[in-house]
Amino acid sequence: MLEDQASAYAEALFAVTRAEGDHERVEDELFRFARALEGSPELREGLGDPEIPTVKRQQIVEDLLGSSAASTTVGIVSLLVATDRMSDFSQIIDAFVNRVARHSGAKVANVRSAVELSADQRERLTAALEQQVGHKVALKVIVDPTVLGGVVTEIGDTVIDGSVRRRLNQLREVF
Amino acid sequence: MRIRNALVATALLVVTMFGFASPASASESIGSCIIEVADELHTQIAGGMSESEAYAQAEDAAEECIEAPNPVLPDPAELIWVTIAFLVLLGVGIKFAFPLITKAMQARSDRIREDLEAAERTRLDAEAAAADYRASLGDAEAESARIMDEARAAAEAYRSSQKAAADAEAADIRAKANADAESIKSQALSDLRADVVQLAVGAAEQVVQHNLDAAAQSELIENYINQVGSAN
């Protein structure tokens, strides 16, 4: 049921962004906002709190994204806040990202790194992953300090973990 | 029955003897003769005879009383009758009573012998019973001894089994206590090791975080890209 609703929202968002012609940017901004929302329970609860007037919550979205994000991105987030879909926000955005990647014939590769990857590193990692999985890859980078160092990539059910966190966990398991 | 017949025959013999006995001896006693002499004397005096003559005759008569029949030796006639009666009675006795008496005595003898034999048999039976009783008593004593031996053996076996069970239980308790102590020790060591590892890994994480500068992060990313690219 939740997947059906997320897919329906994803299709609608894909139609809107495709019509606007900037779905790649909007997709990237929504993806980043979804990850930021996962890392901030206070923000997620605040935007989904029905006790707070919708206008007030939309104003918070404007304050957070208005200056840097595309208007389409701000509008989509405001729409989801107004329809009380913040609890499903990550699922909707992930479905939307997958829908965009499917449109371009690619698979989404969620990459978590302690620091931001440079453009060159993104390109070379994309190429390496495409060579690894034998398929076109849409790279989605998430800056995650818990990784400590290195990179963790998830493509579907495949996980390629080269993080310092994994090595520390291995060290813990050895002892 | 035989005894009764013998008694009847004896009674008949006695009655017959008295029945054929002569009455003369009883009436011819000295006393009665003197009385008769006295009566005759009184009659003669009353009849007018002189007293001297009467007394003289009375003395003669009295002397004749003294010479009266001998009570020990019967009269010959009486003796003949008595002899005949005796012979008759003897014949009757030999003919009828003696066989009965002999038969009764034989029966009595037989009965006494049978009684003696029965008594002997009873005695033998009693002795046999006594022997059996003594034998059974001996058997009972042996059985009692056997039962006591079995009871002692059973008690010893029970005591041994109980002791073995108690020893086994004690061994189990000791083993369980040792296992529990070993488990607690292992758990404590495991917890201690986990705490030490946690501390060590936490310290290592802190060190890594402080030492992972931008160059190191970039190098890690480059290594990752190279590993992914070379894995195919």
Q: What is the pLDDT of residues A96-139, one digit of tens each?
A: 998 888 888 889 999 999 999 999 999 999 999 998 888 899 99
From the number of C-beta atoms within 10 Å of its C-beta (0-12, 13-18, 19+), residue B100 rates as buried
The one-letter code for the residue type at A89 is F
Q: Do B204 and A168 touch (CB under 8 A)?
A: yes
Q: Which residues of B touch A162 (CB under 8 A)?
A: 220, 223-224, 227-228
Q: What is the pLDDT of residue B31?
A: 78
Q: What is the pLDDT of residue B23?
A: 44
Q: What is the pLDDT of residue B25?
A: 44
Q: What is the pLDDT of residue B12?
A: 54
Q: What is the pLDDT of residue B195?
A: 86
By percentage, how much of chain A surpasses pLDDT 70? 98
Of residues B8 and B148, more confidently modeled: B148
Least confident among B64-68, B180-184, B227-231: B64-68
Tokens of B25: 């001896």
Q: Do B201 and A171 touch (CB under 8 A)?
A: yes
Task: Measure the CA–CA gap between B176 and B178, rounded to whole angstroms.
Answer: 5
Q: What is the pLDDT of residue B13?
A: 53
Flag whether pLDDT at B67 surpasses 70.
Answer: no
| Residue A53 binned pLDDT confidence (cut-offs 50, 70, 90) | very high
Closest CB from B197, B209, B223 relative to A172: B197
Q: Which pTM value belongs to this model?
A: 0.49
Flag whether pLDDT at B167 surpasses 90.
Answer: yes
Flag whether pLDDT at B62 surpasses 70.
Answer: yes
Comparing alpha-carbon positions, the chain A residue that sits nearest to B226 is A128
Of residues A149 and B8, more confidently modeled: A149
Q: Helix axis angle, A54-65 relative to A71-82, nearest 10°?
A: 160
Flag whether pLDDT at B26 surpasses 50.
Answer: no
Least confident among A149-158, B9-18, B141-150, B194-203: B9-18
- The model's pLDDT over B72-127, given as tens digits with 9 standing for 90+, comes to 777 788 889 889 999 998 888 888 888 888 888 888 888 888 888 888 888 888 88
Please state, as a whole number, how many other Cβ atoms lie within 10 Å of the Cβ of residue A125: 25
Q: What is the pLDDT of residue B24?
A: 42
HEC readout, chain B: CHHHHHHHHHHHHHHHHHHCCCCHHHHCCHHHHHHHHHHHHHHHHHCCCCHHHHHHHHHHHHHHHHCCCCCCCCCHHHHHHHHHHHHHHHHHHHHHHHHHHHHHHHHHHHHHHHHHHHHHHHHHHHHHHHHHHHHHHHHHHHHHHHHHHHHHHHHHHHHHHHHHHHHHHHHHHHHHHHHHHHHHHHHHHHHHHHHHHHHHHHHHHHHHHHHCCHHHHHHHHHHHHHHHHHHC
Q: Do B214 and A115 touch (CB under 8 A)?
A: yes
Q: What is the pLDDT of residue B20?
A: 47
